[in-house]
Each structure stands twice: as C-alpha cells, then as structure tokens.
Structure 1
Amino acid sequence: MEDLKHELEVSLASVKRDIEFLRNRMGCPIDWDPKRHRYFVRDLPDGGRFELPGLWFDASEVFALLMMIHLVEGVEPGLLVEHLRPMKDRLRSILAAGGKSAGELERKVKLIHFAPRKVEPKHFRVMATALLESKRLSLRYLRRDKQEHTERVISPLQLVHYRENWVLDAWCHLRNELRSFALEAIEEVSVVDEPAKKVSREDMRAHFQSGYGIFAGKAIHRAILKFTPERAQWVSLETWHPDQSDRWLPDGSYILEIPYSNDQELVMDLLRFGADVEVLEPPELRTRVYDALCVAANRYR
C-alpha cells in the first residue's frame, strides 16, 4: 500500500477507491494476499489474463503494427496517409518510451510494386465510408473495353486489392446482379442515403471465388495445364485457385488443373510462361493460347 501511495502520489483512501473501482467497474479479479502483504491480480476463470480495456502493446506487438501500417502504405502510396499518420506517430512514441527505434524496422522492409493504377484518394474515401456504413453509392463508370460511360447505383460489399490494383465488389442495381468495379475506372461517386442491399457470404463466395482470378461467375470450365520439369519446381509451390488439383508425371513434368469461368486472365497468365507450359484441355483454351502465340510470333518475324 505504501508503494502504491508513493508511486501514484495519492492518499490511502484514493488507492482503496481505485482498487474498488477496478473490482466493481472493470471486473478486475484483484485480491489481497495477507501472507505477502500485497495486492495481486488473479487469472480469469477460463485461465486467461485480465487486461484493462484499450491499447496495451509490448514491443513486439508495436513492431508488428508498424509493419502492417508500412505494408498498407505501400499498397497505394498516399491513399490513406492522412488517416495512418497519427496512428504511426503514436506507435513510434510507444516504442521510443521503451528505448527502441521504429526507424530501423522501416529501413529494413522494402516493398516493390509494379504497374499499380492510380486511384483518386477522395473516391476511395467515399467508397470506404459507404462500405462501412452500409450505404449505397451512385457512380459514373467507364467500361474501358467498350469505351462506354454508364450511370448506376450499387450496394458496395467488399474492397479487394488484387495484383496491385483495387476492385470494389458490389450489387449493381442497374444490372440487378453481382458485379466487380475497377476503382480507377470510377469517374464520379457519391453516397446515396439508402441502406445497401445485403448479400450473404455464401452467395458472394459462390460468385466471386468460383471463377479464375478477378473474373467472377460460376466456374464451368476446367483447364488442364502441363508445365515443363524446369518450370514445375516453381509452379508446384503456387496456388492459382482454391479448388485446383495437381499431379506429377514420371519425367518431372507437372500437371495443374484449374477451374475457370472466363479465360481472359488465364490466357494472359499462360502467355508469360511461353514454351514452359502446354494447354492440354479444353480445346477452345488451347486454341486461344495457340492463336495468341502465333500473332506474337508473326509480330516479331
């Protein structure tokens, strides 16, 4: 008790009042040990440790949080900087109080990004706000493949960061179905004061995760790909689709089977492997890759 009075610079009555507050208001299992003449905090009934509400981090947890912020900043430089800076400064001050430096960690983490498309920060903030508040969005969207502008109202469901770029999965009230919208193709956006349509997680998974890559929809095809022994040692460690299957051939070749709905992204991924991959099935996918390789070869003739 004398130590507590001295450290806190308060009276005996104040210390007792604080202990009662911890017990009654905060649910702290604090007891007096008559043998040791000390107060102590017991473990919770389930064996866990009692912790006061709020942010209480040790040095390793602060480092982990700084690392996460560093990664988020690298995803889209400048996009969330004004929101992340206060938290980052606070974490740095917590570390500094313990005699450690956050700068050393940040100098030892390097993120290399390739070809991200620029997103308007104010658009991102509007969409994130509507998403968190379950509000609808009104937007002007550019269909780049058709160079077509459309006005539509959507119910945002989830933000996705995929291959260096942002996509918003949503229910489109114009088309009356689930759609994905590239954020950099959104030209204007505003919040509509109407509750967003709810879609179950099961329906979202069935639509957005069944196909290959960013192209959603029910997977109705299955690609059978054969990789050379030289390339197989890398491809065998990669996950192309949650429902993929694979097997090895006696000569060291690697067979990978992938479900897909739209082959556009799959064809682009296969072309980067050049002669190290062969499409075995289905015939239409094999023909598409063959035609693309022929066009490329003629261009280099």
Structure 2
Amino acid sequence: MQRLQGGHQAVSRRERLYHLHDILRQRRTPITRQDLMDELGCSQATLYRLVGELRDHLGAPLEQDPDGRGYYYDRSLAGNFELPGLWISPDELQALLTARHILGNVQPGLLEDELDGVQSRINQLLDQQGLNFSAQPERVNIRRDAGRPVPADLFEDVMQALFRRQRLKISYHGRRRDDVSDREVSPQRLTSYRDRWYLDAWCHRAEGLRSFALERIRGMTLLEQEAVEVGDDKLARELDQSFGIFSGPAEHRARLQFTPEAARWAADEIWHPRQHGCWLEDGGYVLEVPFGRSRELEMEILRYGCEIEVLEPEFLRHAIRDQLQQARSRYGD
C-alpha cells in the first residue's frame, strides 16, 4: 500500500512568482538558490519551475551567474520588464466563469443594479484574457441541476440579519421528520454547499449550532435582539470537521475501498478537506474521511453501488449492508 496523500499548498503559484519577481527586481547582486528557496518557502523542484516560467513564459530578463548557483536580473533590461497587469491562473479563470454564471442566474430584484456592474467588470476581465464571453456565452455551460432556488426577499433578509448581527425567528420545515417548527436563531454565516445555501446559526431552542437549508425556511421575522456570537474555532470544530453539511463534530473516520474501475473517478474527488487516500497494488483506492452523523455519508457511499466497500467503522458497514439488502428486497429474488 502506498503512502497516504493529503494537504494543499498554502501559497499559490502566482503569489510565489510575484514574490520571486520582487526579490530579483530589488537586488543588485545574484541571490543563491538556497536563499531563494528559503525566501519563497518552496522546494528546489518548485524553484526550478518558477524560474522557468518567469524566464521562458513571461519573458523576464533572468540570468544565472557562471557557477549556476545564483540568480539575478540583467540590469540593462530589468527596468523595462513588468509582470502582466492581469494574469490569472486556471483556477482563477474558473472562479471568474463561475461567478459570471451565478450572477447571470440570480433571482430578479436581488441587488439587480449593483450586480449588473459586477458582472460587467467580470466580462471586462475575461475580455482582457482574449475570451469574449459577452458575445459567445453559450461556449461555457455550467449546470446546476441539484441546486434549489431561494426566494430573493428571503435571501436578502438573511443577509441583513447576518451583517447587522440580529436574531431571526424562522419557521422551518425539516425533511427528516416532515414537520414545521418555530426557531429563534442567531445567524453566524452563510454556507454554499453543492449548489445550495445553508444558514449556520446558534439555535436558542436546541442551545447549539445548527445548519438550516434556506429553501426549507417557510417564514422569517427579523428580531430586535442582538445575535449571540460564536467563535470561528467553535464553528469550524462543530460544523467543518466532518463529511456533509448536517453531520456535526468529527467523531468517526470512515475507510472506504473502491474497485479499480471506480478508483479512476474516486481518486480525483474531494469528499472533505481532511481526507486521505492511497492507491492499492491492484489499482483499487482507499479513502479515509472524517464524519459525525452518518446519513449524508451513507447516501454518498450508495452512489457508488457495488464499486465500493466500507472497511471501517463496523456500524457504518452494517448500515450500508442493511440498506443494500432493503433495496434488493424491493426488486424481489
């Protein structure tokens, strides 16, 4: 079994390239490879990639001293060189495209004039990249089939309460019990999860943090009372550490094994920021995911049908087995 993989670089490639450019622009003498690695907080391989991109793709007047250990800018050319004023990574381009799509599909009346200006600015940024999306919007199709629309007035009321730090009285329809309950809540933040909006709030009836799907709120009243504040650490500990949006603190860790066929898809998926995965010799893949309450994770596991097996914990393994047996019974022998 290969070593577990996980984690992400905290500093983007673009930030490091700009930092490298600033270092070289300000120096009069060469700077060693090791000093650059220390300044940029990167490995030697990463430094070589940055140097190559800065010199070969962006045209920087970057030179090496005769022994190859130091880097510097050719002073006769450095004064005429600047990094492009607008230069975005593929991830940033994707974010712009997604933002443009969301703004184009926002509910009528929701900050309409202001958002028109934001969308125009995004179009300008894309046009400067040589991508004329204003003239050919059909070239990019972002589907949001799983999303559930939220009324514009409800979204605005939630935003006002959130930033004014006021409590809300909500009438909420819970799907699990299929009932409507009245809650007084102190809003903490809005979370977008799988194309749906959730209000993370302190529920005064339950005396704890809860996540409420906005499309399930049937009525809402803005109250005069000041909202109770919950610290970021507590929010992260109780709402962000486990799989799913309603799963609570991460009390368990699931080990899931995918078949070689399914592994080619599963290995590229992000189930949770703190997941770990490893490849098996036969081409299978093992994924470890932290979770609390298991309902959402069970639904995700069942999506893979016979291409996945729960290795741990035992209670989750039994839950999936029972659901598969019930599903089979619906189709007879």
User: So what's the TM-score if we normalise by structure 1?
Assistant: 0.71
1:202 aligns with 2:233: yes
Show the counterpart of 2:324. Answer: 293
Q: Is the 8 A contact 2:188 2:200 kept in 1?
A: yes
Q: Aligned to 2:135, what secondary structure does the other structure show? A: helix
1:215 aligns with 2:285: no
Give the superposition deviation at 1:85.
Answer: 2.4
Give the superposition deviation at 1:120.
Answer: 1.8
Q: Given residue 101 of structure 2, which amino acid in structure 1 is its aligned partner?
A: L
Q: Is the 8 A contact 2:98 2:142 kept in 1?
A: no
CA distance in 2, matches of 1:293, 1:74: 41
**Structure 1 residues 59 and 95, CA gap change in structure 2 (3 angstroms):** farther
Q: Which has the larger radius of gyration?
A: 1
Give the superposition deviation at 1:244.
Answer: 1.8
**Structure 1 residues 117 and 181, CA gap change in structure 2 (3 angstroms):** same
CA distance in 1, matches of 2:235, 2:135: 41
**Structure 1 residues 59 and 104, CA gap change in structure 2 (3 angstroms):** farther
Show the counterpart of 1:49. Answer: none
Q: Aligned to 2:315, what secondary structure does the other structure show? A: helix
Show the counterpart of 2:57. Answer: none
Q: Aligned to 2:134, what secondary structure does the other structure show? A: helix
Give the superposition deviation at 1:299.
Answer: 1.7
Task: Identify the match of residue 71 of structure 1 among 89, 101, 104.
Answer: 101
Q: Aligned to 1:289, what secondary structure does the other structure show? A: helix
**Structure 1 residues 292 and 185, CA gap change in structure 2 (3 angstroms):** same
Q: Given residue 164 of structure 2, which amino acid in structure 1 is its aligned partner?
A: E
Give the superposition deviation at 1:111.
Answer: 1.0
Task: Identify the match of residue 168 of structure 1 among 186, 189, 199.
Answer: 199
Q: Is the 8 A contact 2:247 2:294 kept in 1?
A: no
**Structure 1 residues 209 and 79, CA gap change in structure 2 (3 angstroms):** farther
Cα root mean square deviation, aligned: 3.0
**Structure 1 residues 75 and 230, CA gap change in structure 2 (3 angstroms):** farther
Q: Given residue 153 of structure 2, which amino acid in structure 1 is its aligned partner?
A: K
- The superposition leaves residues 101-144 of structure 1 with CA deviations (integer Å, 9 ceiling, x where unpaired) of 55136333211111322322111110011112222111111222
Identity of aligned residues (%): 37
**Structure 1 residues 203 and 243, CA gap change in structure 2 (3 angstroms):** same
Q: Given residue 250 of structure 1, which amino acid in structure 2 is its aligned partner?
A: E
Q: Is the 8 A contact 1:141 1:188 kept in 2?
A: yes
1:94-133 pair list within 5 angstroms: 103-104=134-135, 106-133=137-164
After the TM superposition, which of the residue ranges 68-77 and 211-220 deviates more from structure 2?
68-77
Provide structure 2 residue ranges, at least 5 long, that are not aligned to the other structure. Answer: 1-84
CA distance in 2, matches of 1:162, 1:194: 29
Q: Is the 8 A contact 1:210 1:259 kept in 2?
A: yes
User: So what's the TM-score if we normalise by structure 2?
Assistant: 0.65
CA distance in 1, matches of 2:276, 2:86: 42
State the aligned residue count: 242
**Structure 1 residues 95 and 244, CA gap change in structure 2 (3 angstroms):** closer
Show the counterpart of 2:264. Answer: 233
Q: Given residue 292 of structure 1, which amino acid in structure 2 is its aligned partner?
A: Q
Q: Aligned to 1:204, what secondary structure does the other structure show? A: helix
CA distance in 1, matches of 2:207, 2:195: 28
Provide structure 1 residue ranges, at least 5 long, that are not aligned to the other structure. Answer: 1-57
Give the superposition deviation at 1:261.
Answer: 0.5
Q: Aligned to 1:225, what secondary structure does the other structure show? A: strand
Show the counterpart of 1:256. Answer: 287
Structure with more contact order per residue of length (Cα contacts < 8 Å, sep ≥ 6): 2
Give the superposition deviation at 1:265.
Answer: 0.7
Q: Aligned to 1:127, what secondary structure does the other structure show? A: helix
Q: Given residue 102 of structure 2, which amino acid in structure 1 is its aligned partner?
A: V
